[in-house]
Structure 1
Amino acid sequence: MSFVSDADTPGNRTLSVLDLTSAGGLVAAANPRPRTGEGELAIGQSAVGLHEGKGFTPFPRAKKTCSNTPRQAVYADERDGVVTWTESASTNLYFFDWCVFAYSPETRRTALLGDSSSLTKGKEVPEAPGSSAPSIGKDKAYWAVTYPTSGKRDVGVKIVARPLSGEGEMETVTERGKLPKATADGALYFVRSEDVSPGFAKDRYEIHRVTPEGSEATVTYGHLAPGQQVTALAVAGTSVNWVVSSEEQGSSVLYSLNTATNRAVTFELGHTGPPTMFLRATPERLAWGNGSATGDAGQYVYDFARGRLWRVGSEEGFSVMYAKGDHLAWSQLPETGAPGSASFNVTRWER
């Protein structure tokens, strides 16, 4: 077991963890300390890279980039050494601009995959429901985006993709979908519900799968009570896992479906299940924590084959869990120390 700290890096920067790698390293962002002035928060430009025990090594900057406005990395995904991440200049909860990048360990280059300015036409739009986090598939990255429309709703939602190499154009994979999760064989899973699909039944959600050839089918569906939404999705191996939550009810339910047997396991969660909670899956295990939500701050691991549940820790206000390959990582706040600092326990799961 090793510990990686959110301590200062050279240049008075702080290190924030974005994802766990299959090799047991951490994808992290070195961020300049934000400055305040004239009532506004000014952020600095992130440097994204790997923290593998010997320190932080940033990826090279992309030759083609977004505007010169400083941006901080907010999401990342890793598969077989390839890393994709999202940066945003926004410090406003109601506005989300983005740039998506991908780093290849083979070419040792970083490519710009997409820029929100190509879709928003200069208008300010919020983040996609659930999250705009990227997901790596076989040879493409996928993410959900919002864009201005002229319909009854001012903002539309769709899922886009682009080759990890940065070649070709950004394409629309499906309209009116959220929470995209891609698999290594080139399939894509996503959620469709009324919050992103006007005219869809308000009391229903569907989880769809798009094959590498482009055909789409419903994997499963369920009922939504008033105020409920699907707020998290994780897919790996034969398991499809999702959270149905409601802020009004103060509770949520995690479902784990084995598509090979068509059997599901449910977990009653002792928190609201917000989009900021952490839900990660591997073919063998499911891991979750409530992020910064109130309620149960436990950090959990569920073993599919054994049908056993472990509580590996609990961190109120920062209950973070990552899972990738045979490795797990979970956050730990120090009993004493600088406010906002955290460490991560990284271990190979051998149970």
Structure 2
Amino acid sequence: MTKLGALLCSALLLLLATACSEAKPGRSHDATPGTGGPTETASPGSSARAEPSEDQAVACSLDTATDARPAAENDDLGPPVVARTSADDGSALVVRGVLSAGRLLASASTGDSGDQLGTPRLGVLSPSGFAALRYDPSPSRGHQITAAEAQGSTTTWVETTSMDLFNFDWKIYAADLERPGRRLLADSDTVYGTRPLSPVYGQTIPTVAGDSVYWAATPPGADRSDGVIWRAGLDDASIEAVSRGVMPSGAGRSLYFVRRTGDGAQIVRRDTAKGAEWVVSTVDSADGEVTRLAASTRLVAWVVARPQGDAALYIHQRQAGELCRIALHQRGPETMVMSAAGHFLAWGNGSVDGDAGEYLLDMRSRGLWRLGEASGYSVGYVGPGAVAWARLPEDAAQPQAAQFLVASW
């Protein structure tokens, strides 16, 4: 496999045909648990209760085409620093997230040859270079890292041996960024056996919430939108299926995810300590399809696509109880990159047509900033005190030639 192939393989696993519909905010509720509203029984997991309040109007409305200001005008952002895009051995680096002190979580693709996968390594990218985490690589078959996340010093990631668009085996790992070793939390062969598994809608992306790692997966024979949320303890060997849904995103001890219903989808918040679930908002299937979700301790955001070819981004502030809407001039695919940290949200459209801008939203001021543009590799990552985005040289149109810029505040 070429370097370009290794870089894009995880994205290609997701490019299955999906239907899109128009977006509306639906019903949004405040964050205080209660007993009002409809009850839906999750399978598996506890019941999801609607948090009581009336339908909430959109408190703010923005448009990336008219309201986004150049990042250079943001006095809170420091000058961007160019991060390296290759390791010392020449292997391509794929950025996975933003760590503290402006460092990046990245994976290095090594040993790819023809149609054979190599043994990529996860590590930390800093101005001094790429430092792979200290663990023994997976034995036997080659594999690829398709997603990773870090919360504090804990990082978690998924590896697969698949290069098949319609089959996705997985292993979920966790490690301490400051210590050697890693731990295998779960693998699909143990959970589901060796039967073929469809890639779950929104991808299998492990996330940390409370003292556990959560991820979504598709059971054998199930539709890829009928995912199951799994949990594995960081401090013990427990593993269990806790709810039905896709696209989980950790936020402190809360876990947000999307649950498909017979007439649309719900944005669900789960208290990981108590196991209780609440419906934050709903989207009717006639109005749109939720394609992406990201959450922090301050907000939860989701993208709803529509068949006209564009999409809208909704942001719910849990403490303020406000709902904001941002018009996106791209179709909002499930492969777009979006991340949240504190009051901030960053995103790009991935590799689809339409607006390839990379954006940063500060919900405290409702300031919307255009960081850059990278057609074919539009991404945005936000983390503790920093934001990162891609930049393609004018004479290069391939993701393997991308540079990453990191700006701190």
Look up the SS of the partner of 2:109 in the other structure.
strand
- Matched to 2:233, the amino acid is P
Gaps of 5+ in 2: 1-79
CA distance in 2, matches of 1:9, 1:341: 16
What is the CA–CA distance in structure 1 between the aligned matches of 2:214 and 2:403, rounded to whole Å? Answer: 29
Contact 2:311 2:330 in 1 (8 A): yes
For residue 282 of structure 1, the aligned residue among 326, 333, 341 is 341
Tell me the equivalent position of 1:244: 304
Shift of 1:281: 1.3
Residue 336 of structure 1 deviates from its aligned partner by 3.5
Change (3 A) 1:156 1:268: closer
Shift of 1:171: 1.3
Q: In 2, are the aligned partners of 1:158 and 1:178 still within 8 Å (CA)?
A: yes
Letter in 2 for 1:223: D
- Which of 221, 244, 249 aligns to 1:181? It is 249
Amino acid at match of 2:295: V
* Whole-Å separation in 1 of the counterparts to 2:180 and 2:246: 31
Return 293-302 or 212-221, whichever deviates more. 212-221
Equivalent residue for 2:362, pick from 303, 311, 331: 303
For residues 171 and 134 of structure 2, what CA distance do their matches in structure 1 show?
A: 16
TM-score by length of 1: 0.87
Partner of 1:159: 229
1:219 is aligned with what amino acid? Answer: V
Q: CA deviation at 1:344?
A: 0.6
Cα distance in 1 for residues equivalent to 2:316 and 2:108: 37
SS at match of 1:29: strand
Query: Which residue does 1:190 correspond to in 2?
Result: 257
Closer/same/farther in 2, CA of residues 15 and 56 from structure 1, 3 Å limit: same
User: Which of 154, 167, 177 is the aligned partner of 1:95?
Assistant: 167
TM (normalized to structure 2)? 0.75
- 1:273 maps to 332
- Match of residue 109, structure 2, among 17, 27, 31: 31
Equivalents in 1 of 2:395, 2:224: separation in Å? 47
More strand by share: 1
1:269-325 Cα shifts (integer Å, max 9, x gaps): 111111111111122211111011110000111111111111110110000100012
Kept in 2, the 8 Å contact 1:135–1:143? The answer is yes
Aligned residues: 328
Structure 2 CA distance for aligned equivalents of residues 222 and 242 of structure 1: 11
Residues 72-116 of structure 1, C-alpha deviation per residue, up to 9 Å, x if partnerless? 111111111211111111112111111111111464321111111
Relative CO higher for 1 or 2, CA cutoff 8 Å, sep ≥ 6?
2
**1:138 paired residue number:** 210
Q: Does 1:216 align with 2:246?
A: no
For 1:13 and 1:116, how far apart are their aligned partners in 2?
Answer: 28
- Secondary structure of the residue aligned to 2:100 is coil
Q: How far is 1:252 from its partner?
A: 1.0
Residue in 1 aligned with 2:265? 205
* CA root-mean-square deviation: 2.1
How far is the alpha carbon of 1:332 from its aligned partner?
0.7
Map of 1:196 onto structure 2: none
Partner amino acid, structure 2, of 1:225? A
Quote how far apart the aligned CAs of 1:13 are: 2.1
Offset of residue 236 of structure 1:
1.3
Match of 1:148 in 2: 220
Check the 8 A contact 2:330/2:353 in 1, yes or no.
Answer: yes
Q: CA separation of 1:220/1:45 partners in 2, compared to 1, >3 Å: closer, same or farther? A: same
| Secondary structure of 1:23's aligned partner | helix
Partner SS for 1:90? coil
> Do the aligned partners of residues 154 and 56 (structure 1) sit closer, same or farther apart at CA in structure 2, a change above 3 Å counting?
closer
Residues 1:61 and 2:135 aligned together: yes
8 Å contact kept, 1:18–1:74? no
The SS at the match of 2:352 is: coil
| 1:93-151 deviation per Cα after TM superposition (whole angstroms, max 9, x unaligned) | 111111111111464321111111113321111111112111112221110011215x8
1:4 to 59, 62, 83: 83
Q: CA deviation at 1:237?
A: 2.6
Deviates more, 1:1-10 or 1:312-321: 1-10
Equivalent residue letter for 1:35: S
Change (3 A) 1:46 1:319: same
The one-letter amino acid of 1:32's match is T
The one-letter amino acid paired with 2:372 is G
Aligned match of 2:188: 116
Give yes or no for the alignment of 1:126 onto 2:195. no
Distance in 1 between residues matched to 2:224 and 2:299, nearest whole Å: 35
Gaps of 5+ in 1: 194-199
User: Hey, which of these two has a bigger chunk of helix by percent?
Assistant: 2
Of all paired residues, the percent bearing the same amino acid is 31
Which range is displaced more, 283-292 or 103-112?
A: 103-112
